[in-house]
Amino acid sequence: MNSLALFSSPSRPLTRQQRAWIALYSLLEVNQNRAEVLHLNDVTEEDLLEFEESWQLLRNRLPYPHYLLPRFPLPELS
């Protein structure tokens, strides 16, 4: 299964925010093609920027100590 995109049921499509979060997680993986991740998740660079802060908050809400969470800077926009 491709880890670049996550599919939802037709009756309950993912929101733009959820798709952006999935894309942001996907971009943490090494050797991911940024354009492909954006395309497969139907989001833009602007969507990533808009939802990055909420995604960081979501990552920090995981049930284990925050110091175990890797904090990866996202690659700069080219």
pLDDT tens digits for 26-64?
Answer: 998 878 899 999 999 999 999 999 999 999 888 877 665
CA distance 24 to 19: 9
Residue 8 lies in a domain: no
Within a domain: residue 52? yes
In a domain, 73, yes or no: no
Q: What is the C-alpha separation between 39 and 57, in angstroms, rounded?
A: 24
Q: At 11, is the pLDDT very low, low, confident or very high (cuts 50, 70, 90)?
A: confident
Q: Has residue 40 been placed in a domain?
A: yes
What predicted TM-score, i.e. pTM, was given to this entire model? 0.67
Task: Identify the domain containing residue 52 by its residue range.
Answer: 16-63
Q: What is the pLDDT of residue 21?
A: 94
1 within some domain: no
Separation between Cα atoms, residue 25 and residue 21, nearest integer Å? 6
Domain membership of residue 57 (yes or no) is yes
Residue 68 falls within a domain, yes or no? no
**Structural domain count of the chain:** 1
CA distance 16 to 20: 6
Number of residues in the chain? 78
Is 38 among the domain residues? Answer: yes
